Amino acid sequence: MPARRLSARWVLPMDGPAIEGGAALIDAGGRLAAVGPEAAVPRPEWAEAEDFPDALLLPGLVNTHTHLELSGFAAAAPEPDFAAWIRGVRARKAERGPEEYLAAARAGLAACHTAGVTTIADTGDSGAVVRALAEAGGSGVVYHEVFGPAPAQAGASMADLRRRMAELCRFAGGRVRLGVSPHAPYTVSGRLYSAVGQWARAEGLPLAVHLAESVAESALLADGTGEFAAAWGRRAIPLPDPLGHTPVQWLERHGVLGPDTLCIHVVRAGPSDIAQLAERGCAVAHCPRSNAAHGHGDAPLAALLEAGLRVGAGTDSVLSAGSLDLLAEARVARRLAGLDAPAALHLCTLAAAGALGLEREVGSLTPGKWADCVVVRPDPSRGADPAEQALASGPGDVVLTILGGRVVYRAGEAA
């Protein structure tokens, strides 16, 4: 791999202030060797140099929640009945075979690169995304989903999870990490949560859970009412026992919460839930466009940040949010929590890396970290402030995406 030197009108390293007329030097091993003002960054003759005098250089973006195996399903507007929507997604998934899942995962990964995203945290149960990530030399955590709302299913679900993880572990390694995702409190019994949590801790695997997303999920656990409770009733699945918990309390009761637990959504969480998540050191994947599209409401982002939780932005699946535009999530997050532009950008760079425990490797243009970079050419009408310009950008403004020193997307070139 050639050494590279990139210079740009502005460099936003995210570990310090924006640098006007900055540059970054990438070594042949794919790591950042130097970042700073143009004059301070060496210009070795063997490095391929590219200058972007009208563009911004940022760290590659980190998307804390995707379902790339769902790429390519024609977008249908989320329906008001969330339980029915989930059943619809299940029905469409059942129509796909392994090769179609793999094609979807590859297409989804390419769409991430086009949008400037270089690290993902993905959940799914096809196994296609970890394979696509490994073959592309990508970066991320892939959480394999496990389901089973009836307590009597827990043993079979665990056996299936162990078998699938044994198959998939050959794709992990390097920058690709495997984890497990006991999907959500409305698809996983308390018994299965306990078993998965214990097993994951013993195996050193990170966890991801869809948590406190909908009114129906809270109602199921609080008093056994709502759409999910009705659906369980039709399948003769016993209600959660005992009732009377919030989703956060339910996972705490089953030993799922910890520093390696990524909690996705966290919309319906009150002050004591947030304090509990903070005490356990959990991280949060904040997906504001998905939450709005499903009518779940706004997550208490300001309170989550105030409590010191590690929070990163996530797009959720294209079926929910419509696109993998992470900066669009950051713009909504900014409005929800009254953030300034740099803080909103943090949610899809350094803070997102922190939510995944990857802050020593990615998330900022810091010498020694992986050379994951994105060059964005903003619309000149968006004012002079580089953070504002970056935040106002979208996938159509991305000029170049580099992952570990390798070009994975260049505007105008076919993938």
**Residues found near Zn ion in the complex (CB under 5 A):** 316
Helix (H) or strand (E) holding 129: helix 128-135
Residue number with CB closer to Zn ion (147 or 370): 147
- The residue sitting closest to Zn ion, measured at its beta carbon, is 316
Nearer to Zn ion, 320 or 389 (CB): 320
Q: How far is the CB of 409 from Zn ion (least distance, A)?
A: 24
Angle at which helices 215-223 and 227-234 cross, to 10°: 60
Nearer to Zn ion among residue 69 and residue 316 (C-beta): 316
Q: How far is the CB of 316 from Zn ion (least distance, A)?
A: 5
DSSP letter (8 states) at residue 68:
G
Closest approach, Cβ 177 to Zn ion, in A, equals 18
Closest C-alpha to 110, from 141, 92, 144, 133: 133
Residues 6+ apart with CB under 8 A from 217: 184, 185, 186, 226, 228, 247, 268
Residue 123 C-beta: closest distance to Zn ion, Å: 6
Residue recorded with tokens 């991320």: 140
d(CA 308, CA 364): 20
Closest CA to 58 of 346, 413, 396, 331: 346
Give Cβ neighbours of residue 389 (< 8 Å, ≥ 6 apart): 10, 56, 376, 378, 379, 382, 383
Task: Report, in Å, the least distance between residue 238 CB and Zn ion.
Answer: 26
- Tell me the C-alpha distance between 308 and 277, whole Å: 10
Min dist CB 213 to Zn ion, Å, is: 8
Nearer to Zn ion, 127 or 378 (CB): 127
Distance of CA 112 to the CA centre of its chain: 11
Cβ-based neighbours of 19, under 8 Å, separated by 6 or more: 10, 11, 12, 13, 35, 36, 37
- Cβ closer to Zn ion: 268 or 377? 268
For Zn ion, give the closer residue by CB, 91 or 384: 91
- What's the closest the beta carbon of residue 375 comes to Zn ion, in angstroms? 29
**CB closer to Zn ion out of 118 and 123:** 123
Cβ closer to Zn ion: 285 or 373? 285
Contact criterion met (CB below 8 Å) for 193 and 256: yes
Around Cβ 97, how many Cβ atoms within 10 Å? 8
Nearer to Zn ion, 82 or 370 (CB): 82
In whole angstroms, give the CA distance from residue 52 to residue 394.
18
Q: Among residues 261, 284, 254, which one has the least CA distance to residue 189? A: 254
76 contacts 319 by C-beta, under 8 angstroms:
yes
Q: How far is the CB of 187 from Zn ion (least distance, A)?
A: 12
The least CB distance from residue 318 to Zn ion, in Å, is 11
**Which secondary structure element, helix H or strand E, spans residue 57, and what is its range?**
strand 48-59
